Amino acid sequence: MMRAVTGLISAVVAITVLTACAGDDPYCTAVKDQESTLNSLGEKRTNAAYRSYARAFRSVAKVSPGSVKKDWTELAEVTASVLNAQDKAKIKLEEMTDQKKVAKLGTEQLKTLNNAYEAFNKTTPQREAVVKNVKEECDISLT
């Protein structure tokens, strides 16, 4: 009887510890809360989608560990800069496939957009760093 009680107590303690670790970590909780948005990055090229991506990056960046805080913050900033460039050029991201609208853009507008897109596209190292960290710290696989 004593073995059964000891085994039961050990199981309860193990479950409590595992649950407490997963539930108390604000970083992993933020990643889990934003997981579907983070995993859909780039699927939709609309202002609304990129606003959602930037919000998700900012949300996680606020509670991320120091080792990847800069990466999460950079992702948030560069995603927001794409939106800022779209606003400055007075064209929505989803309208960039409309050749007639794009043809009406001036040289400065196109330069502003191109610079923002290039900065966004250069974030592969940051994206790889956060994906690796989330897998190691939270056991969550981001795609």
Distance, in Å, from the CA atom of 96 to the CA atom of 72, rounded to the nearest integer, reads: 26
State the pLDDT at residue 100.
96
> Using an 8 Å Cβ cutoff, are 106 and 141 in contact?
no
DSSP state of 46: S
At 13, the pLDDT band (50, 70, 90 cuts) reads: very low
Average pLDDT, the chain: 87
pLDDT at 4 > cutoff 80: no
The count of other CB atoms within 10 Å of the CB of residue 50 is 21
Is the pLDDT at 53 greater than 60, yes or no? yes
Single pTM value for the model? 0.81
Q: Report how far residue 94's alpha carbon sits from residue 3's, in angstroms, rounded to the nearest whole number.
A: 64
Q: Does residue 93 contact residue 82 with C-beta atoms inside 8 Å? A: yes
- As a whole number, mean pLDDT of residues 128-141 equals 96
